[in-house]
Structure formats: structure tokens, C-alpha cells
């Protein structure tokens, strides 16, 4: 019997000891090539079938861990507290009540970019939405470890083996928590949920819902809350601190939300996330993910503006846009603008570009009246422009600016062209997961930028047809 089959058998025995029950229609599989686990249907399973029940006390959380009193005394919270609980239980080895579960898990999830080396991050994530974020994450994790974990180990009232709490172990715990934890309820907060964490994710195509059944709800009738989405806001202390006294229910249920044929995989969903978020938290991407986005940083727009106009011009237009924005959305600061998966820029980006490009006379007029001229005859009130009528702002100059911005954003990916990336992906074995998923991310982001260019060009073409001035415009854009 292979090592992975032995571990799976031990896990099944442990589940039995914890009263975790699951349907005999489920096959828990470990793929030999890469040791990835997943769940298959052994026979047809139908919508509405209850396929598993998991007592909450079997989940590894801060509340259930033996380290709870020390964690609470030390006032650790959120993901730091759960990491300590996980490292503590691992340090106990066979003495831990979760040994049968922990022995099945990998030591860490090496696909999560937090665990990549700085060289890998620079090489594989250059230009992507994750490049800066992951570098910042790494620095923050080190600071957290130094500021919280080291003093905790030194001052804990019981002897802890520091080898199980070093930086490596903390990073390993963080990668597991990031990719395998679920929000349980207000009492338990979030934690590791055995069995539920063997299901892989499929965007908008899940087969099963993971649910907390409440038998003591306010209405005194049974109610259920879908907790399919593993704690997107797991650092939200408000949620974790509510109702500290008791858990309203004892079990979690997994219920089928569609039919699955025998022999096929049963998928959960981790939520509606683009590839950057999936790679960041779970270490994988999907080829056609409708939630992909690309951001254009405000900094980049200012860089573009300063390359054409004086600094004074850029500063005063920026502050006008900020004033207008804060009037509409008090307290909401914008540092970047989203480009959706179909290449549409968010309206605030168009407004900012529009204001930057207003000729001096029109700008002064706009400053007085808040009505901006979009042509000799037509004026618009900028605050009345929303996502639905934003195309009104697509003047010829705004479209030109969008093309320039798409070009500047594209240059962040370095010297390798999109075609190079596509070729590299074709040649990349799926088992080289870091390279494979970072290429998918780069390509899907660059496809969005291509669509942004098409969005701008489409407007340009439309205007040319209306104005009958195709050649002049073409020349203008070739020069840029
Ligand atoms: C909650 S676990 C799911 C079970 C996991 N396959 C295992 O071996 O334990 C989440 C991890 O599974 C992998 N995973 C989940 N869904 C995936 C998908 N659609 N494609 C590739 N990997 C996926 C990723 O490594 C992710 O971090």
C-alpha cells in the first residue's frame, strides 16, 4: 500500500472517531503524480443529497485548540492566532487530537506565492496584480512573526519547542490557512475544516454547498447559512468577536446543489474571485475566469499626465477630480482603477482622464459651472455620469489617453511579449505549477489590456465614421 493510501486510511479512521460522516457515494482520492487530493462521485449523486456532516468540535480552530488559553492570554487574534493553534497542534505530534487529520495534509502549500522566493516573485509575477502585493505580504509576515510569535513562544506558560514556531513553520502554517480555512460561525470564527477541505474549486460551477445549520436561531426554527466562501474577510475582527459565548449549532453540512454523474469530480466553490485573487490565496488559476480584472494605478495615470502636461496642470486637475469624487462618495479614496474582464474601464478613470484633458478655457468654465463641454454644442454634468452612461465621456482625446495608458500598463510586464507568454504556456507542463499559473495570470491580464485597447479603438472608429476623418486620427495614434 502506498504512503498516501495509508495516510488516507488513517484519516478515515480519525474521521470516524470524530463522528464526521460522509456518503459512501464519495471517493476521496490522492493523485499519485502530484499528491493533490480531490473528491469523486462513485455513483450518480443528486441535487439536495446530504453528502457529509462535520461536527464543529472536529474543526481545528482557536476555540477548539489546546493552545486556546495561551492564545487568548496573549491577546492574539485573527490569522496569527489560528497559525499559532495550527503550529501548536503540529508540535504535539501524535498527542494532538487532530493528528489523524494533520498527518494527511501537506506540510505547506508551496503553490501559494507567499512561499515563493523573491527571485521567483520577481521573475514570475512581474507586472501582474500580485507582484507588489506578495512582496509586501512577505515583509508583513516577517514583522508579525517577530512582533507576535517570537514573544509568544518565549513567554508561554508551558514549554514550547521553538523549532515548530520558527519563521519557516509560520509561513507554512499561513499557506495552509490561506488555502484551506473556512468561516465556521461567530463562536468558532474561522478554522480548518476536515473533509470539506478536500474538495477542489470551480468558479460558478460548484456541485456542493457547505452549510452551517442553526438549531437555536432567533426565530426558533432551523435555519441554514451558506458558508461556501472560505472567509474572504478572515482578518475581520468584528466578525470574529461577535457572540463569543457559544456556538449556535453543532454541525456543518455539505449538500449537493446539482446532480453529479458517477466517475466525475465533485467541486465546491471558494467564492467569485479573479485569477489574481485565486493565485494569491490558493496558488492556482483558471483558464477562463469571468472575474478577472486588471487595475491601473492612480500613480500610473499621473505619470502619463505629467508626460504631456506640466506638474501644476496635473496637480490641479487631480485635485478637481478628487473634490468631485469625494462629494459623490465621501471618505472613499481611490488609488487604482479597475478594468473589467471585457476591457471596460471604470467610470472614475474616464472622469479623471476627461478632466485632465479639458482645454484650459473649458476647464475654467467647468470649475465655475460644473458643466463640462464634450463638444461645441453639448455639455454634461460630470456627477451625473455613471457606469451606465460613461460612454458619453469617450471623446477622441480620452480614447487616445486610454490607448496610452494600456501601453504603459502593458510595459510593466517587461520584455517578454504576450505571444512569448502564450508559447511558454503551451510548452509548460501542468506539473510546473508556479510557472503554469503565473503564465495564465500574465496572459489573462494582458488579454484584458488588449480588450481595453479594442474598447478605445472601437470608439475611435465610431467617431471617425461620424466625422469622416479616418486618416487624420490614424496618423495621430500611430505617432503615440
Ligand atoms: C481546500 S484545498 C482542496 C484540496 C486539495 N486539492 C488537496 O490536495 O488537499 C485547496 C487547494 O487545492 C488546490 N485546488 C483547488 N481547486 C483547484 C483547481 N480548480 N485547480 C487547481 N488546483 C486547485 C489548490 O492547491 C488549493 O490551494
Q: Round to whole Å and give the CA distance between 31 and 33.
A: 6
Kindly tell me if the per-residue pLDDT of 215 is higher than 80.
no
Q: Round to whole Å and give the CA distance between 68 and 85.
A: 7
Which residue ranges form the domains of the chain, and what is each CATH number?
A: 3-282 (3.90.1410.10), 294-479 (3.90.1420.10)
Q: Is the ipTM of this complex over 0.95?
A: yes
Q: Round to whole Å and give the CA distance between 282 and 200.
A: 10
234 falls in which pLDDT band (50, 70, 90)? very low
**Is 37's C-beta closer than 6 angstroms to any atom of ligand 1?**
yes
Q: Could you tell me the maximum CA-CA distance found in the chain, to the nearest angstrom?
A: 82
Q: Round to whole Å and give the CA distance between 212 and 225.
A: 5
Residue with cell string 473634490 = 323
How many Cα atoms occupy the beta-carbon half-sphere of 461 within 13 Å? 6
- 201 CA to centre of ligand 1 in angstroms: 7
Which candidate, 385, 394, 298, 398, places its Cα nearest to that of 356? Answer: 398
Mutate which of 7, 26, 36 for ligand 1? The one with the most ligand atoms within 8 Å of its CB, which is: 36
376 falls in which pLDDT band (50, 70, 90)? low
Average pLDDT score, the chain: 88
Kindly tell me if the per-residue pLDDT of 228 is higher than 50.
no
H/E stretch holding 427: helix 418-427
Q: What was the pLDDT predicted at 466?
A: 41
First to last CA, the chain: 65
Count Cβ atoms below 10 Å from residue 357 Cβ, excluding itself.
19
- 203 CA to centre of ligand 1 in angstroms: 13
Which candidate, 204, 247, 250, 244, places its Cα nearest to that of 228? Answer: 204
Cell of 246: 457559544
Residue with cell string 464634450 = 374
Q: What is the pTM of this model?
A: 0.88
Q: What is the mean pLDDT of residues 14-21?
A: 98
Q: What is the mean pLDDT of residues 159-169?
A: 96
Kindly tell me if the per-residue pLDDT of 146 is higher than 80.
yes
Q: What was the pLDDT predicted at 245?
A: 46
**Is 285's C-beta closer than 6 angstroms to any atom of ligand 1?**
no
Asked if 96 and 89 count as a contact pair (C-beta separation under 8 A), the reply is yes
Q: What was the pLDDT predicted at 212?
A: 78
Secondary structure (DSSP) of 54-76: EEGGGSB-TTTSTTHHHHHHTT-
Kindly tell me if the per-residue pLDDT of 301 is higher than 60.
yes
Asked if 114 and 175 count as a contact pair (C-beta separation under 8 A), the reply is yes
Asked if 449 and 410 count as a contact pair (C-beta separation under 8 A), the reply is yes
Q: What is the DSSP letter of 149?
A: I
- 335 CA to centre of ligand 1 in angstroms: 32
Q: Round to whole Å and give the CA distance between 155 and 299.
A: 44
Q: Map residue 405 onto helix, strand or coil.
A: helix
pLDDT tens for 314-356 read 999 999 999 999 988 888 899 999 999 999 999 999 999 999 9
Kindly tell me if the per-residue pLDDT of 374 is higher than 80.
no
Q: Taking each helix axis as running N to C, give the angle between helix 433-467 and helix 396-411, from 0 to 180 degrees, rounded to the nearest 10.
A: 160
Of the given ranges (44-48, 135-139, 193-197, 382-386), which has the lowest mean pLDDT?
382-386
Q: Round to whole Å and give the CA distance between 405 and 92.
A: 54
Q: What was the pLDDT predicted at 248?
A: 55
**Is 200's C-beta closer than 6 angstroms to any atom of ligand 1?**
yes
Kindly tell me if the per-residue pLDDT of 58 is higher than 60.
yes
Q: Round to whole Å and give the CA distance between 180 and 470.
A: 55
Q: Round to whole Å and give the CA distance between 327 and 285.
A: 38
Protein residue whose Cα sits closest to atom 14 of ligand 1: 200
Asked if 15 and 104 count as a contact pair (C-beta separation under 8 A), the reply is no
Q: What is the DSSP letter of 147?
A: I
Protein residue whose Cα sits closest to atom 26 of ligand 1: 282
- Calculate the CA dihedral of residues 6, 8, 13, 15 and round it to 10 degrees: 160
- 182 CA to centre of ligand 1 in angstroms: 14
Say how far residue 333 (Cα) sits from the centre of its chain. Answer: 21
Q: What is the mean pLDDT of residues 16-39?
A: 96
Amino acid at each position: 500500500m502506498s504512503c498516501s493510501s495509508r495516510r488516507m486510511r488513517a484519516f478515515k479512521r480519525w474521521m470516524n472517531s470524530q463522528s464526521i460522516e460522509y456518503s459512501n457515494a464519495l471517493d476521496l482520492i490522492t493523485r499519485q503524480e502530484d499528491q493533490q487530493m480531490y473528491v469523486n462521485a462513485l455513483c450518480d449523486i443528486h441535487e439536495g443529497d446530504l453528502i457529509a456532516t462535520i461536527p464543529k468540535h472536529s474543526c481545528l480552530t482557536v476555540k477548539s485548540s489546546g493552545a486556546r488559553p495561551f492564545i487568548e492570554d496573549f491577546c492574539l487574534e485573527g490569522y496569527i492566532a489560528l497559525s499559532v493553534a495550527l503550529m501548536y497542534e503540529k508540535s504535539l505530534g501524535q498527542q494532538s487530537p487532530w493528528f489523524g487529520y494533520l498527518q494527511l495534509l501537506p506540510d505547506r502549500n508551496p503553490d501559494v506565492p507567499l512561499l515563493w522566493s523573491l527571485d521567483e516573485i520577481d521573475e514570475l509575477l512581474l507586472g501582474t496584480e500580485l507582484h507588489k502585493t506578495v512582496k509586501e505580504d512577505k515583509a508583513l509576515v516577517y514583522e508579525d512573526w517577530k512582533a507576535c510569535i517570537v514573544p509568544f513562544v518565549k513567554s508561554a506558560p508551558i514549554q514550547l519547542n521553538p523549532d515548530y514556531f520558527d519563521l519557516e513553520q509560520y509561513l507554512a502554517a499561513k499557506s495552509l490557512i490561506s488555502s484551506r480555512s473556512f468561516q465556521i460561525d461567530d463562536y468558532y470564527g474561522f478554522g480548518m475544516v476536515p473533509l470539506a477541505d478536500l474538495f477542489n474549486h470551480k468558479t460558478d460551477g460548484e456541485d456542493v454547498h457547505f452549510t452551517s445549520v442553526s438549531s437555536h436561531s432567533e426565530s426558533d426554527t432551523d435555519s441554514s447559512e451558506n458558508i461556501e466562501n472560505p472567509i474572504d474577510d478572515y482578518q475581520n475582527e468584528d466578525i470574529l468577536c461577535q457572540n463569543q459565548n457559544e456556538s449556535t449549532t453543532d454541525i456543518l453540512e455539505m449538500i449537493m446543489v446539482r446532480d453529479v454523474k458517477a466517475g466525475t469530480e465533485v467541486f465546491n466553490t471558494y467564492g467569485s474571485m479573479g485569477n489574481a485573487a485565486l493565485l494569491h490565496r490558493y496558488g492556482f488559476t483558471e483558464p477562463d475566469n469571468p472575474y478577472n480584472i486588471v487595475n491601473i494605478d492612480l500613480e500610473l495615470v499621473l505619470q502619463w499626465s505629467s508626460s504631456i502636461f506640466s506638474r501644476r496642470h496635473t496637480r490641479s486637475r487631480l485635485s478637481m477630480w478628487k473634490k468631485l469624487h469625494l462629494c459623490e462618495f465621501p471618505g472613499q479614496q481611490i488609488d487604482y482603477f479597475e478594468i473589467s474582464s471585457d476591457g471596460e474601464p471604470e467610470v472614475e478613470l474616464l472622469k479623471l482622464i476627461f478632466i485632465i484633458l479639458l482645454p484650459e478655457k473649458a476647464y475654467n468654465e467647468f470649475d465655475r459651472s460644473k458643466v463640462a463641454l464634450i463638444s461645441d454644442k453639448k455639455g454634461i454634468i460630470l456627477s451625473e455620469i455613471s457606469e451606465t452612461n460613461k460612454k458619453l465621456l469617450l471623446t477622441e482625446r480620452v480614447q487616445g489617453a486610454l490607448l496610452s495608458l494600456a501601453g504603459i500598463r502593458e510595459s510593466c510586464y517587461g520584455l517578454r511579449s504576450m505571444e512569448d507568454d502564450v508559447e511558454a504556456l503551451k510548452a509548460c507542463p501542468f506539473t510546473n505549477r508556479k510557472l503554469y499559473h503565473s503564465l495564465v495570470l500574465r496572459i489573462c491580464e494582458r488579454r484584458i489590456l488588449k480588450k481595453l485597447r479594442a474598447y478605445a479603438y472601437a470608439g475611435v472608429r465610431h467617431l471617425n465614421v461620424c466625422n469622416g476623418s479616418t486618416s487624420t486620427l490614424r496618423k495621430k495614434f500611430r505617432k503615440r
